Amino acid sequence: MFRKLMQCSVFALLGVVGVLATYGWAISANKAASISDVMKASFGKGGFKAKITEASKNKNYDEVAKLGRDWVACVENLLKNKPPRGDEKEFHARAEKFLNLTREIVAAAEKGDGKAIAASLKGIGGLCGDCHKNHK
């Protein structure tokens, strides 16, 4: 009888540990990418901007659209972060502009409009200095 009680207790404990471990993994999987991670993915060597610029030059608009959708998902993480300094509302307004420009890239790629893609990329470049000056 004691042996059965111990076996049940061990299995119950393992179940609790399993649930807590799974819960912790779910929380970390849902954690937003940091501002630094978004910037590296966006503008680092081989980042979204470089890849989209190259694909657009080659008129590979399907690739631009695919990369653009991934970039939109990446940039959405900025809205889940707080800026290192400066007003949080202003930061989120600038992040929204960035997000809207990435969405415009996807829309332009789906239409095969290389000029609109280039204009949106230029607009993104114009946001950099302002955001860095106020929030970095």
CATH 1.20.120: does it fit domain 33-135? yes
Distance (Å, whole) CA 124 – CA 101: 7
Rounded CA gap, 81 and 74, in Å? 12
Say if CB 93 and CB 127 are below 8 A apart.
no
Q: Which residue has the tokens 């009888």?
A: 1
> pLDDT tens track of the chain, all 136 residues?
767 666 665 555 555 444 444 333 333 345 789 999 999 999 999 999 999 999 999 999 999 999 999 999 999 999 999 999 999 999 999 999 999 999 999 999 999 999 999 999 999 999 999 899 999 9
Residue ranges of the domains in the chain?
1-31, 33-135
